[in-house]
Amino acid sequence: MRVGSIDPPGPAIVGQKIGGETGPRILHLKLTFRMIEIDLDHHRLRLDVNLPFGLTVHEDLSCTPLDDTYCRADCPNFDFPRGWRGSLLRFLMKRELNTGPIVSQSRLKRPAELRQENGSRQ
C-alpha cells in the first residue's frame, strides 16, 4: 500500500483516517483505514477498512511484543462482509490471505515510520 494521507497526522488516534492506494501502478485501488478503538494497555487496534466496490472490512488487530523491534500481529476477528461481495473479495484476495497480515503490515510500517520521522523534523 502506498500511503497518501493521514488525517489528522501523527500517531494513531481514534477517528484518524489513513488513505492510500494498492495494486499495480496502472490500476490504483483506493483504501481507507479508520481507527475505531486503540487499547494501548492490551496492544489492540480496531479499525474499519474501506475497500473498492463499496466493501468494508472490520478488523480487530492485536500485537504481542517479541522484543524491542519486533511484534507478532494477530487478526483473530478479521471478517469479510456477508453476501456475494464478501465472497468475491475472499476469492480475489485468496493469495494475500494465505500470506497473513505480517507481509501487509511490514509494507505499511516503514512508510508510516518515515512519515512520522519527517513530520517530527519540521
Question: How would you write the pLDDT of the chain (122 residues) with one tens digit per residue?
Answer: 778 899 999 888 999 999 988 777 777 788 899 999 999 888 888 988 887 777 777 888 888 878 887 777 776 556 677 788 778 777 776 666 655 555 556 666 667 777 777 765 55
4-35 pLDDT per residue, tens: 899 999 888 999 999 988 777 777 788 899 99
In sequence order, what are the residues at sequence separation of 6 or more whose Cβ sits closer than 8 angstroms to the Cβ of residue 120? none
Of 57, 58, 50, 55, the C-alpha closest to 18 is: 50
Q: Which amino acid is at 51?
A: L
Separation between Cα atoms, residue 15 and residue 51, nearest integer Å? 17
The CA–CA distances, whole Å, from 69 to 37, 65, 105, 113 equal 23, 8, 14, 13
Position 77 scores a pLDDT of: 58
Task: Give the pLDDT score at 105.
Answer: 62
Specify the pLDDT at position 16: 94
What's residue 98's pLDDT? 56
- Residue 72: its pLDDT value, please? 77
What's the pLDDT score for residue 11?
Answer: 87
